[in-house]
Amino acid sequence: MSDTYSRRLALLSQPEALAQLKHCLHGIERESLRVERNGRLALTPHPKVLGSALTHGSITTDYSEALLEFITDAHPDSAQTLAELEDIHRFTVANLDQELLWSPSMPGHLPKEEQIPIGQYGSSNIGQLKYVYRKGLSVRYGKAMQCIAGIHYNFSLPDSIWELLREAENDPRSPQDYQSARYISLIRNFRRYSWLLMYLFGASPALDISFLRGREHQLDSFDEDTLYLPYATSLRMSDLGYQSNAQAGLTPCYDKLSSYTDSLRRAVNTPYPDYEKIGSKQGDEWIQINTNILQIENEYYSTMRPKRITNDGERPVDALIDRGIQYVEVRCIDINPFLPLGIDLTQARFLDTFLLYCALEDSPLLCDKECPETTENFLTVVKQGRKPNLQLQRNSQAISMLDWSLELFEKMQACAQLLDDSYATTEHTEALRKQMEKLHNPDLTPSAQVLACMREHKDSFSQFALKQSLQHAQLLSAPPLDTSKIAHYQELAERSHQAQQAIEQQPQCSFDEFMAEFLANAV
Predicted pLDDT of residue 93: 97
Label the pairing between strands 281-282 and 220-223.
Answer: unpaired
HSE-up of 162 (CA within 13 Å, CB side)? 24
The pLDDT of residue 312 is 87
- The pLDDT-based confidence of 121 (bands split at 50, 70, 90) is very high
Asked if residues 235 and 332 have their Cβ atoms less than 8 Å apart, the reply is: no
Q: What is the pLDDT of residue 215?
A: 84
Q: Is pLDDT above 80 for 248?
A: no
Domain that residue 373 falls in: 3-520
Domain count, the chain: 1
**Single-letter amino acid, residue 295:** Q
Per-residue pLDDT, 241 = 54
Higher pLDDT, 285 or 241: 285
289 in Cβ contact with 280 (< 8 Å): yes
Whether residue 103 contacts residue 204, with contact meaning beta carbons closer than 8 Å, is answered with no
Nearest to 187 by CA among 384, 371, 461, 348: 371
- What crossing angle do the helices spanning 257-269 and 175-193 adopt, rounded to 10°? 80
Report residue 245's pLDDT band, with 50, 70 and 90 as the boundaries.
Answer: low
Within 10 Å of residue 137's Cβ, how many Cβ atoms? 20
Using an 8 Å Cβ cutoff, are 185 and 157 in contact? no
Single out the residue of 62, 74, 57 nearest to residue 134, CA to CA: 62
Give the pLDDT of residue 166.
Answer: 97
User: For position 246, what pLDDT does the model report?
Assistant: 72
Alpha-helical runs (H) found in 224-334: 257-269, 273-278, 316-323
What is the per-residue pLDDT across 328-374, written as a single tens digit (0 to 9) for each? 999 999 999 999 999 999 999 999 999 999 999 999 999 888 888 99
- Scanning 55-158, the segments in alpha helix (DSSP H) are 78-94, 125-141
pLDDT recorded at residue 523: 62
Tell me, rounded to whole angstroms, the distance of Cα 309 from its chain centroid. 16
Q: Name the DSSP class of 68.
A: E
> Of residues 49 and 522, which shows the higher confidence score?
49
pLDDT digits (tens, 9 = 90+) for 59-90: 999 999 999 999 999 999 999 999 999 999 99
- At residue 325, the pLDDT reads 98
CA distance 145 to 139: 11
Average pLDDT, integer, range 419-435: 98
3-state secondary structure of 498: helix
Mean residue pLDDT across the chain: 95
Mean pLDDT of the region 188-192: 97
The total of other beta-carbon atoms located within 10 Å of residue 71's CB is 18
Mean pLDDT of 167-181: 97
Q: Find the mean pLDDT for residues 457-471.
A: 98
Cβ–Cβ under 8 Å, residues 416 and 431? yes
Mean pLDDT, range 100-122, rounded to an integer = 97
Q: Are 293 and 248 in contact (CB under 8 A)?
A: no
- pLDDT of the residue at 313: 83
pLDDT band for 44, please (50, 70, 90 cuts): very high
With CA atoms as reference, report the closest residue to 33 among 103, 127, 134.
Answer: 103
* CATH label of the domain that carries residue 254: 3.30.590.20
Please name which of 92, 91, 72 lies closest in space to residue 81, comparing C-alpha atoms: 72
Distance CA 396, CA 379 (A): 16
The pLDDT of residue 253 is above 80: no
Q: Which of 217, 198, 231, 188 is nearest to 377 (CA)?
A: 198
CB atoms within 10 A of CB 160: 14
d(C-alpha 323, C-alpha 174), whole Å: 12
Question: Residue 428 pLDDT more than 90?
Answer: yes
Cβ atoms of residues 502 and 57 within 8 Å: no
| Residue 519's pLDDT band (cuts 50, 70, 90) | very high
How many Å separate Cα 420 from the centre of its chain? Answer: 26
CA distances from 273 to 229, 245, 277 (A): 34, 11, 6
CB neighbour list of residue 430: distance below 8 Å, 6 or more residues apart: 346, 349
CA torsion 166-170-173-174 (nearest 10°) is 50
Q: What is the arrangement of strands in the sheet containing 226-228, beginning at the earlier edge strand?
A: 206-208, 226-228, 220-223
Helix 345-360, helix 427-440: angle, nearest 10 = 90
Residues in the chain: 523
**CB contact at 8 A, 334 and 237:** yes
| pLDDT mean over 14-41 | 97
